[in-house]
Structure formats: structure tokens, C-alpha cells
Amino acid sequence: MLDYVAAVTVTAGGRALPLGGVALPNRRLVLRWLRRQALRLADGHGRNPGPAPAVPWLGVRDVRPVTFHGSDAPEALRAWAGDHGRQDHAMGALESGRPALLTVVDPFVGLRVTLGAWPVDVWGWTAQASADHSPPPRTEGV
């Protein structure tokens, strides 16, 4: 049974576009996937990484790359991925049934990248997340 979903979206010019998402059986795997995507997006800054290879143990592709115009967003993604305190906070949010969200902004063009994970509930978050990869509304402090 899949208990958590994660998605990465980009918002530019008022349009939110899905970059990719995944459903996984536990919160540790979801956060590991989000950290991988954060580092992958940050490390792709300034180069064209090409198509992402499949993750062999899941058969899931990485999210599509984003072109950042400054270094603020990539640095914020790296900082989040490497901050054990923020990872623990995200783990606690998921454990308590709340979403874990991170939004970084490229201030040069107003590009916003959101990484989110949330528990699946019995009312169908999995179906909604797989349909549009949109995270639930942002909650403060997560």
C-alpha cells in the first residue's frame, strides 16, 4: 500500500506546471526522493543535464530539469537537502499527518519551484496527486 505522495511543481507567469511526482510506502523514502530531486535541480543549474535516467529500484523517473537564472534557488535547494534539522522537521510533519513543503524562488524571473510531500488519506489524495502533481495548500512552519 502506498502511504505517501511527493510532487515537484514549477510556477511561472501564474501557471503551475508539474515536473514530476511519486507515490511511496513510507515517509523516509518520500523525503529521500525529494532530497534527490532538490540536489538534482540545484546541480543542473547552468548546464543542460539531458534526459533523466530511470531510478532502477522504483522504475520512476526523476523530475524534469529547470533553468534557473540566478544562484539563489539552487543554493536554497542544496541548503534544504543538507539540513538535518529541516529534514527532521519535515519528517515530523509527515508523521503527524501534515504536508511537508519547500518553495524556492528565482527572483530574477519570478520562477517558483515547490517540492511537497504529504500522507495519503482515505479520501483520495493519491488519485489527485497522480492526476495533477499539485501539493496541498501551503501550511506555515513546514
pLDDT digits (tens, 9 = 90+) for 90-115: 999 999 999 999 999 998 888 999 99
List of residues 6+ apart from 113 with CB closer than 8 A: 8, 9, 10, 11, 19, 41, 66, 73, 77, 103, 104, 106
Query: Distance of alpha carbon 26 from its chain centroid, rounded?
Result: 15
User: Residue 68 class from Cβ within 10 Å (0-12 exposed, 13-18 middle, 19+ buried)?
Assistant: buried
Residue with cell 539552487: 74
Arithmetic mean of pLDDT, 123-129: 47
CA distances from 71 to 23, 76, 85 (A): 30, 9, 23
Instruction: Using CA atoms of 131, 114, 40, 127 in order, give the dihedral in degrees to the nearest 10.
Output: -20
Arithmetic mean of pLDDT, 117-141: 55
* Model pLDDT for residues 48-86, shown as the tens digit of each residue: 445 445 444 444 578 988 889 989 999 999 999 999 999
The x, y and z cell numbers of residue 118, run together, are 504529504
Mean pLDDT for all residues in the chain: 81
pLDDT at 1 (0 to 100): 54
List of residues 6+ apart from 11 with CB closer than 8 A: 17, 111, 112, 113, 114
pLDDT at 57 (0 to 100): 43
The x, y and z cell numbers of residue 57, run together, are 529500484
